[in-house]
Structure 1
Amino acid sequence: MKLTAAITLLLLAAAKAHYTFPSIANTADWQYVRVTSNYQSNGPVTDVNSDAIRCYERNPGTGASGVYNVTAGSTLNYNAKASISHPGPMAVYIAKVPAGKTAANWDGKGQVWSKIYQDMPRLGGSMTWPSQGARSIPVTIPRCLQNGEYLLRAEHIALHSASGVGGAQFYISCAQISVSGGSGTWSPKNRVSFPGAYQATHPGIMINIYYPVPTSYTPPGPPVETC
């Protein structure tokens, strides 16, 4: 009984240290963000080659109940619950919903994702991360987007146990948005697919961030696209 209680306490502590990305702006959880498989457990994705690395959906194909209207060029907060408690990089990707699909029913498959946000660590005696401890990440929606519906993918990679293959923890979700007011000149140089964008042994994914302290860091995936 004592062993069972101890294991339960360890599992609860681990769950509290993890997090989800359930909302954007000042909206309710899972109103515009697709419910993720970790919506109760808070557990991460660890296999970069799994379909879960795309949007980590609990019920693929069902979508969220709403599509959030946003103006191109504005800033949209992507919210963590309770906070981003682990060290590592934060990135946000965007993909335009193709003709004949909606943000609620498109699966996001294919080489369609462009990175629009990436933070970087401060280097020195240790690696410190601007997103660690944050409850929301402000993301600028490119002013040059074509009007229409998009999926917005939040991704935080926790690197505290990332010294071996499969040790990095990915916390992911996808929001459904509709963009208006864009100039329509968006022409990204790099588009990637999920899975496919990352390799488990990429030095930005498999890394010991503690010793020896890295003197540089290269995040996985493409560079950030700008207008």
Structure 2
Amino acid sequence: MSLSKIATLLLSSVSLVAGHGYVASIEVDGTTYGGYLVDTYYFESDPPELIAWSTNATDDGYVSPSDYESVNIICHKGSSPGALSAPVAPGGWVQMTWNTWPTDHHGPVITYLANCHGSCADVDKATLEFFKIDAGGLIDDTDVPGTWATDELIEDGYSRNITIPSDIAPGYYVLRHEIIALHSAENLNGAQNYPQCINLEVTGSETATPSGTLGEALYKETDPGIYVDIWNTLSTYTIPGPSLYTAGSAATATSATTAAATTTSAATTAVATTAAAVTSTAAELEASTQTRVTTSESSAPTPASDDTSQLNQGDADPLDGNSAPATTTTTVVATPAASSESSPSSGVLSGACSQEDYWYCNGGTAFQRCVNGEWDASQSVAAGTVCTAGISETLTISAASTRRDSLRRHLARPKRH
């Protein structure tokens, strides 16, 4: 066992005393609302009416992967809808503030929306279909166990800001906000989910109605972002759950990583869905066969486009043509397969597909995935990268012409969401 793992196990005993935490305060478009204070309100005969959902998890405990197919995973154990809803405009913002969070409980922070199709005060939670609107995962893995979205949440006063997509149709929605702690996730059933829910009323006159996923189908205990050892250097990390929805996109695909990892043997496979990652030193640029990855998704607008090749999403680093370029190529083992759907030569695919989770690279410049029996929205590969054309079980993306000094500057700059 590593020294860092031993140290964290010792710190965990302190964390158990301090408690894991819950959302104590919510700010919606500048108005502050109280969270469900489970250590207080659960024991009161007449607790206040809130936008927050109640729960009977008085121990500040978690939902384990063995409970992923139960209603407990939706809005926590014994949860019931809040009586009120907070109005928010499309493109507005929500700040979720936790009362505390243990420093050793590293992992992703994820937020979803689900349309109640009527009042959320009496909605059947088992019928809610969630689409992901914000997520942060692994930010930097230079030092094990790395820097995670939970570390940023702690640094930001136990808070995370979430932007409501600007095209969402008006109506009543449940916002599901969640931390997944991965400090014991190297063991099957070792991840810890801490879901928290609130009710929103989206105003305006927009028209988007993204498709979603039932809460009991969001995760599997063997998902690569759930069953993962953060105590070893990670070459890639996949944020669990469906793909991120942004205004104008489709929200049906499997969760995406923001970079690809090279393989060290022909038996190892890796998925790259946005850009090829770069290595962190000049020596690695010359000879390394493994890249570092950071994963962070957000629906908030950023200066850079979603498909730029970068270490942290939203950080643009234009390269000029000076000096000799270095070349980094992502190599993965792909399993081509025939398809009964549209031919790759026909351009963007749409409609039904039969090869679940297979990828389609359209002419080397864009990609899609077969999810829930349908092709998801087409996404462009990053500038300076190409994917291997055709339909296959694993997507292959290659990057070239990366200037060394620009990479050093890029890797040296810390970035925040």
Q: CA deviation at 1:15?
A: 4.7
Q: Counterpart of 1:222?
A: 242
More helix by share: 2
Give the match's secondary structure for 1:195. helix
Give the match's secondary structure for 2:16. helix
The residue type equivalent to 1:28 in the other structure is G
Q: Go from structure 1 to structure 2 and tell me whether the alpha carbon gap of 1:87 and 1:13 turns closer, same or farther (over 3 Å shift).
A: closer
Q: Distance in 2 between matches of 1:207 and 1:17?
A: 23
Q: Counterpart of 2:91?
A: 73
The residue type equivalent to 1:27 in the other structure is Y
C-alpha distance after superposition, 1:158-178 (max 9, x if no partner): 000111121100011110110
Matches within 5 A, 1:120-159: 120-121=137-138, 122-126=140-144, 127-132=146-151, 133=154, 134=156, 135-159=158-182
Q: CA deviation at 1:57?
A: 4.7
Cα RMSD (Å): 2.0
Unaligned runs of 5+ in 2: 1-11, 37-49, 248-417
Q: Does 1:167 align with 2:190?
A: yes
Q: Distance in 1 between matches of 2:141 and 2:244?
A: 20
Q: Distance in 2 between matches of 1:130 and 1:41?
A: 24
Give the match's secondary structure for 2:197. strand
CA contact (8 A) 1:143 1:182 kept: no
Q: Distance in 2 between matches of 1:15 and 1:115?
A: 32
- Equivalent position to 1:195, from 216, 219, 222: 216
Q: CA deviation at 1:20?
A: 1.1
Q: Distance in 1 between matches of 2:244 and 2:162?
A: 12
CA contact (8 A) 1:113 1:192 kept: yes
Matches within 5 A, 1:89-104: 89-98=108-117, 101-104=118-121
Q: CA deviation at 1:92?
A: 0.3
Q: Counterpart of 1:19?
A: 21
- Equivalent position to 1:28, from 11, 25, 34: 34
Q: CA deviation at 1:203?
A: 1.2
Give the match's secondary structure for 2:234. coil
Q: CA deviation at 1:13?
A: 4.7
The list of structure 1 runs, each at least 4 consecutive aligned residues, that deviate by more than 4 angstroms after superposition, is: 10-13
Give the match's secondary structure for 1:109. helix
Choose 1 or 2 for highest CA Rg.
2
Q: Counterpart of 1:6?
A: none
Q: Does 1:113 align with 2:130?
A: yes
TM norm structure 2: 0.48
Q: Distance in 2 between matches of 1:108 and 1:93?
A: 14
C-alpha distance after superposition, 1:58-106 (max 9, x if no partner): 354xx213211111101110121223642000100000111xx411111
Q: Distance in 2 between matches of 1:77 and 1:196?
A: 26
Q: Counterpart of 2:357?
A: none
Larger deviation, residues 85-94 vs 110-119: 110-119
Q: Distance in 2 between matches of 1:180 and 1:171?
A: 28
Q: Go from structure 1 to structure 2 and tell me whether the alpha carbon gap of 1:111 and 1:27 turns closer, same or farther (over 3 Å shift).
A: closer
Q: Distance in 1 between matches of 2:205 and 2:162?
A: 16
Q: Distance in 2 between matches of 1:29 and 1:76?
A: 13
Q: CA deviation at 1:181?
A: 1.9
The residue type equivalent to 2:73 in the other structure is I
Of structures 1 and 2, the one scoring higher in RCO (CA 8 A, sep 6+) is 1
Unaligned runs of 5+ in 1: 1-9
Give the match's secondary structure for 1:54. helix
Q: Distance in 1 between matches of 2:76 and 2:225?
A: 20
